[in-house]
Amino acid sequence: MNLADHWLFSYQALARHRLRSTMVLLAIGMGVSSVLLLTSIGEGARLYIEQEFSALGSKMLIVLPGKKETTGSAPPLYGTSPRDLTIEDAQALKKIPSISHVAPIIAGTASVSNQSLSRDIIILGTNRDMFTVRNLTVKQGRMLPENSETRATPVCILGAKLAKELFKKSSPMGQWLRIGEYKYRVIGLLKARGESLGLDLQDMAIIPVRSAQVLFDSPALFRILLQLKQTDFEINTRVNINKIIAQRHDGEADITIISQDAMLSAFNKIIVAVTASIGAIAAISLIVAGILIMNVSYISVSQRREEIGLLKSLGASAREVRQIFIISSLVITSFGSLAGLILSYSLVFIIQTNFPKIPLAIPWWSTIAAIFMSFIVALLFSWLPANKAAAVDPILALRG
Amino acid sequence: MTDNAIINISHMNKTYQVGEQPLHALQNIKLNIKQGEYLSLMGPSGSGKSTLLNMIGLLDRPDSGQYQLQGENTELLTEEQRALLRRKYIGFVFQSFHLIPRLTALENVELPLMLAGVKAKSRQERASKLLSELGLGNHLRQLPKQLSGGQLQRVGIARALITEPTILLADEPTGNLDQSSGQEVTDILERYNRNGITLLVVTHDIALGNRAQRQLNMVDGVIVSDTGLPINTTKPYQQLGSSS
């Protein structure tokens, strides 16, 4: 019996028991689509992060205080540096010719108030370069003053949400508000760009880095963002950064330099792992479908005993009878997988077109894995019933 | 005489365990069948005639004894090899037709060729030609439930003949049919026998059985009479025959 005939024969047998076949088909279809839909959520998150990163431009380096290295003892924690990074360190980095922008950042929370309205928010102390490095623009007013690194000018730029919360309907431009112990004048409003790597820029105030040093009473930088003139300068630039910091920090380059690629690949690894485990959980539904295949196959074997006996008397061997039953589950699995694929891809498509903000994407590997898995399940769970069919005694079956 | 025999059975035994009592379905059977013979196998229920038919059709294995089919020893063959011989040499016709209800008349007849891996186009041609020969040319696309008993059995015969077997094994072929359909079916079987096919009919129907040139009678697992045997037949048959 050749393969095409096998498929035809199985198809005819399945078509005869329409309800039963539909049930199995549904079970497999739902199994496949639950794997695809659940992994599409994870994959969507991964793509979202990737997109966020690429919005930052690929020429960015991040300098963190403290060196992360593996030694004999417990791994050191983030930022356990004996020496802080300072604004002066950041200024020194400007001497490196391959660096185009240097944005030192001091970050902290403080309460911001306008008359009776008050909020606790994140204050970002930085300079003008920050706007270039992170692609920020002001919707109204000006950017930070040129001398943000030298003078503690009492001015601030507000995120859209914060401005609305504090000033309601009146224009905040030129108004004074209180941050911590000091008074600041609003000189600009950030253009809404949504979230950026989890920081809600809408709900934030940006002040000159020197003002932040005064506000938080500490010269320690949270980090320095650097933008390179060209991507391929990265290795060279890292060496130079370490050299300059070592000069300034008693011969020790106690900093960590992270490139955007490194962060992105770390994120990617984590999210792919999480997505794969979600997919594995969803695959349990495929095993449930497998058990249904087994039950239905057993019923089918006992109902088709006469036919099996007949096939044997017509010259079908036990092996061929087994093949007939296994292929019949594979046929129904193909249809079920196809139904699952169509269902989940169209669902994702519908969601993408109607709610473009929800990041969803079915990863190619989960598509392959789900189909592969459903066929493995079909093979495994139809094996026992198929063996039972192969063992049918033709004499007894034909007598009945 | 064994040289030109297509079926050569000697000392064949088969015992079934029925409850506590062993049932000797076949006892020391010896049977030679030549190409083109027309045999009937008669006997009461439980006499072992169906068992013998199944043995000849390679559906069952004897406990002991030899069985040569077309000169090939069958005792040591694997299940796969036996299936192959069955496909090549043997055609079955059943009392209750055993057509697959979801398949059309044509598809039912095609089935043995499909199992043998014959291409769709060629097997369709062969099957429709044969069905037309049997007067079913207008019923090719009909399902078994749309056909009468006589038509069903003709489809069954077509299915048995499609592989051009050397021997046709018919188990009560007219048992489920009325008089005229039964006659029709008998005529067809005999027509193909005249064209050279070996025909073995198992039946309760004495009228049908008597039409065969060679008549076998079985009682309690023993062939008690065989009109085809030469006069100087070996003794054990007569002894056993008279004792039963």
Q: Give the residues across from A200 on adjacent strands.
A: A195
Q: Give the residues across from A224 on adjacent strands.
A: A63, A104
Cβ contacts of B3 within 8 Å, gap of 6 or more: none
Q: Determine the Cα–Cα distance for residues B149 and B25; give it in Å rounded to an integer.
A: 31
Answer whether A15 sits within 8 Å of B88, measured CB to CB: no
Nearest chain B residue to A320 by CA distance is B115
Residues A292 and A374 in one domain: yes
Domain extents in chain B: 5-243
On whether any CB of chain B is under 8 Å from the CB of A387, the answer is no
Answer whether A317 sits within 8 Å of B83, measured CB to CB: yes
User: CATH assignment of B5-243?
Assistant: 3.40.50.300
Residues A34 and A109 in one domain: no
A59 within domain boundaries = no
A88 within domain boundaries = no
Helix pair B149-161, B105-115: axis angle to 10 deg: 20
A300 within domain boundaries = yes
Structure tokens at A337: 């997988």
Answer whether B115 sits within 8 Å of A319, measured CB to CB: no
On whether any CB of chain B is under 8 Å from the CB of A142, the answer is no
From chain B, the residues in CB contact with A2 under 8 A are 117
Q: Chain A: nearest CA to B98, how far in angstroms?
A: 7
Q: Determine the Cα–Cα distance for residues B214 and B41; give it in Å rounded to an integer.
A: 9
Task: Look at residues A52, A234, A226 and name the one whose alpha carbon lies nearest to residue A127.
Answer: A226
A207 within domain boundaries = yes
Answer whether B100 sits within 8 Å of A307, measured CB to CB: yes
Residue numbers of B between 116 and 135 with CB closer than 8 Å to A: 116-117, 120
Residue numbers of B between 142 and 161 with CB closer than 8 Å to A: 159
A318 within domain boundaries = yes
Residues A272 and A395 in one domain: yes
Identify which of B79, B102, B120 has the shortest CB distance to residue A318: B79
Answer whether B100 sits within 8 Å of A394, measured CB to CB: no
Residue A322 domain boundaries: 3-52+268-399
Q: Determine the Cα–Cα distance for residues A98 and A109; give it in Å rounded to an integer.
A: 33
Answer whether A1 sits within 8 Å of B115, measured CB to CB: yes
Residues A309 and A393 in one domain: yes
What domain count does chain A have?
A: 2
How does pLDDT run along chain A (400 residues), one tens digit per residue? 788 888 888 888 888 888 889 999 999 999 999 999 999 988 888 888 887 777 666 678 888 888 765 444 544 555 454 678 899 999 999 989 889 999 999 999 999 998 888 889 999 999 999 888 887 888 888 889 988 889 999 999 998 888 888 888 888 899 999 998 899 999 999 887 655 555 677 888 999 999 999 999 988 899 898 888 877 777 888 889 999 988 888 888 888 888 877 778 888 888 888 888 888 888 888 888 889 889 989 998 998 999 999 999 998 989 999 999 999 999 999 999 999 999 999 999 999 899 888 888 899 999 999 999 999 999 999 999 999 999 988 888 887 5
Residues A106 and A154 in one domain: yes
Answer whether B117 sits within 8 Å of A310, measured CB to CB: no
A233 within domain boundaries = no
Task: Look at residues B124, B126, B178 and name the one whose alpha carbon lies nearest to residue B151.
Answer: B178
Do residues A174 and A118 touch, judged by C-beta distance below 8 A?
A: no
Residues A26 and A112 in one domain: no
Residues A205 and A280 in one domain: no
